[in-house]
Amino acid sequence: MGWKALVVTVLLTVAVAYYVYKPLPDAIEKPWKLMMLDALFRSMMHLGFLKEWLHLSHYISSVKSPMENLEGFVTSSESKGGVIPGVKFTDTTFAGVPVRVYEPPAGGEGHLRRGLMYLHGGGWAFGSGKAGAYDSISRMISDELNCVVVSVDYRLYPAVHFPEPFLDCFAAAKHFLSPEFLARYAIDPERVAVSGDSAGGNLAAAVAQEISADDGVPVKFSVQALIYPVLQALDFSTPSYVQNQNMAVLPRHTMVMFWLQYLNADPSLLPQFIANNHSASRQSALTPELRSRVDWTVLLPPKFKKNHTPLVVEKGCPEVLKKVPGLLDTRAAPLLAEAAVLAKCPRAYIMTCEYDVLRDDGLMYAQRLRDAGVSVSVEHLEDGFHGAFGLINWPMDFEVGKRAVRSYITWLQNNL
């Protein structure tokens, strides 16, 4: 190898190492594995943005294809060993919404089954309940809990914005809870759950609230199980947003971008949102009572407040709330619901991760539910990070992910 080739090789190696490396907390297991996973996500996103800038395709389309290929590889790798062969599934639609219904292995006739509706994450833009870890987890739940699992493939950005994904999930939930469906699959109407992670946790919480308040739906969800849910878009300077603003997988700017996309807001508002200019104190629509629903100084346990101070802007951008009304819509931001609405909600399981910008959303919601008289179990993973729940299949498996899934299934076993 000539000296020029050697220099180029060294420079490329340094450049790749610089791109991949990201400082991570000491508690994170397999840090280099997480760095590589994060670099893979970032490279797909950067390539997607480049193709959009060149007017070749929307960045979402560019990112979805490699993500689906990766999920397909993980799913096929896992299935080589025979993943719970007794569980069968059927792809169908509920009120026009695509779903996959998983049925447990034959046996136990004469006993009613549990029922669970699952809503996948992905920033309201990516993902499918039929692939990767979502498929594996649905099969596990169906098999271990004698449970009929319905995984919903609601419509995604950029095809739709809020409230369409919520409306899809709400329509699917009403079909799922209908006496006809429950009877067809021998599901106990007293043991039905709604669940989801991240953006799916947002939709699950919103659907649980809406179903609880809808007198036209006679069967209500028994429990709601939320995995690091995203629940509010008024304060992007909570302690967890600040602490984890540059964390792998879901940094703050990416979560804010997902919110802007979901609410069909101008992407140029991203810096304003990060600075909390959209929720300035002079916003007349943000009454003291409404602000109290996202007041982390009151709602968070002391150990999570640390030395953080609230970021409240005085003037900011008062026109934003008029341009983006979804910010105050509880179907988009369930944490903003009134106490009377929360009081009707089913008992809850909320999983949070220490190294996740969404940690405080989940913890604040847990406290608000408790204040409203709802029973809540919080599972906080001290070594957890966003997305860990879905990292259980080789080669992207992490022990914290396997523990998270096991804790989740155990809680459902004991509470559903």
Q: What structural domains and CATH numbers belong to the chain?
A: 71-233+337-415 (3.40.50.1820)
Q: How far apart are CA 280 and CA 283, in angstroms?
A: 6
Q: What is the per-residue pLDDT for 88?
A: 93
Q: Which of the listed ranges 37-51, 126-140, 309-323 does the model predict with the highest average pLDDT? A: 126-140
Q: Are 250 and 386 in contact (CB under 8 A)?
A: yes
For residues 32-58, one letter each, b for 16 or more C-beta atoms within 10 angstroms of the residue's C-beta and e for the rest, the string is eebbebbbebbebbeebeebeeeeeee
Q: Taking the CB of residue 290, how many other CB atoms lie within 10 A of it?
A: 15
Residue 203 near residue 166 (C-beta atoms within 8 A): yes
Tokens of 235: 């304060």
Active site (catalytic) residues: 198, 356, 386
The answer to whether the pTM exceeds 0.85 is yes
Q: Indicate the SS3 state at residue 380.
A: strand
pLDDT per position as a tens digit, 168-206 = 999 999 999 999 999 999 999 999 999 999 999 999 999
Q: Which amino acid is at 203?
A: L
Tokens found for residue 373: 């008289």
pLDDT in tens, 111-167: 899 999 999 999 999 999 998 899 999 999 999 999 999 999 999 999 999 999 999
Render the burial of 12-28: b for 16+ CB within 10 Å, e for the rest: eeeeeeeeeeeebeeeb
Whether 333 and 233 have beta carbons less than 8 Å apart is answered as yes
Rg (CA), the chain: 22
Cα distances (Å, whole numbers) of residue 42 to 23, 49, 143, 248? 15, 10, 35, 9
